[in-house]
């Protein structure tokens, strides 16, 4: 699904200080999927890039074949189904990577995924800022021209996990996952006004749960901006 030229009027060139634009890459994966480990490793590589917000999103629809994924949530599968409808796909699959909510491809295809990231980075975006503020966080949004309200959501995720798989297609393997999504919290609808808003801090400090904020259009699922809380361990 490409960005049409006539759609690009939804934001201005305003930026929030020297914050850097982030491209959001979502990997839909499962510990019960034998074809997912190469995509999990690629996601781990992407998670080290300063220009990418990489998220490992575990789905639950493979749990029935012998191994229950401890990180899977029904809401994660629902999120993937929303994308499938937007991309006019007849089914959901793993491993799938979705880039900025606008492009999708096979998550283990390194060349394709990196091409989608480059393609997404060629389009303008809002650059918000997420910073510590007292015991919580503060999100700053620049004034931007939007054609429609945008949903602001906070995503909380763990830096990494390693699991020894005891049953199912990956039985006997030790698998490592990066930036494992734990929850998505809707915050507000944004209409393009310059604003600051409070965001709940992640739990566990810099080595525990991590936090980012995503700006996503509800109508077509396109992500127009993101901010990550930088930590001393990143």
pTM over 0.85: yes
Any alpha helices (H) in the chain, and if so which ranges? 37-46, 74-86, 110-121
Note the pLDDT tens digit of each residue in 131-175: 999 999 999 999 999 988 999 999 999 999 999 999 989 999 999
Task: Name residue 188's beta-bridge partners.
Answer: 152
Domain spanning 9-228: which CATH class is it, in words? alpha beta
164 token code pair: 């020894």
Predicted confidence pLDDT, tens digits, the chain (234 residues): 333 333 333 343 334 345 679 999 999 999 999 999 999 999 999 999 999 999 999 999 999 998 999 999 999 999 999 999 999 999 999 999 999 999 999 999 999 999 999 999 998 899 999 999 999 999 999 999 998 899 999 999 999 999 999 998 999 999 999 999 999 999 999 999 999 999 999 986 545 789 999 999 989 999 999 999 875 443
The whole-angstrom separation of Cα 92 and Cα 226 is 25
Report the mean per-residue pLDDT for the chain.
89
What's the half-sphere exposure (Cβ side, CA atoms, 13 Å) at 213? 29
Report the candidate in 53, 87, 102, 55 with the shortest Cα–Cα distance to residue 222: 102
**Is residue 230 within 8 Å of 18, Cβ to Cβ?**
no
The whole-angstrom separation of Cα 13 and Cα 218 is 22
């Amino acid at each position: 699904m490409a960005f049409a030229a006539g759609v690009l009027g939804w934001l201005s060139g305003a930026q929030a200080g020297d914050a850097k634009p982030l491209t959001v890459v979502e990997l839909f994966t499962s510990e019960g999927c034998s074809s997912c480990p190469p995509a999990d490793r690629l996601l781990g590589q992407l998670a080290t890039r300063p220009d990418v917000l990489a998220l490992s999103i575990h789905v639950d629809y493979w749990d029935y074949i012998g191994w229950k994924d401890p990180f899977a949530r029904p809401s994660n599968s629902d999120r993937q189904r929303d994308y499938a409808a937007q991309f006019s796909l007849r089914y959901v699959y793993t491993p799938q990577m979705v880039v900025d909510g606008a492009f999708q491809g096979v998550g283990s295809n390194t060349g394709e995924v990196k091409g989608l990231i480059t393609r997404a980075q060629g389009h303008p975006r809002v650059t918000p800022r997420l910073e510590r503020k007292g015991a919580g966080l503060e999100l700053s949004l620049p004034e931007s021209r939007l054609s429609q309200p945008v949903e602001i959501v906070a995503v909380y995720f763990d830096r990494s996990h390693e699991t020894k798989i005891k049953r199912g297609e990956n039985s006997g393997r030790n698998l490592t996952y990066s930036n494992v999504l734990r929850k998505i919290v809707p915050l507000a609808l944004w209409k393009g006004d310059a604003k600051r808003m409070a965001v709940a801090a992640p739990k566990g400090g810099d080595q525990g749960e991590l936090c980012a904020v995503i700006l996503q259009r509800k109508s077509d699922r396109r992500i127009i901006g993101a901010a990550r809380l930088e930590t001393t361990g990143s």
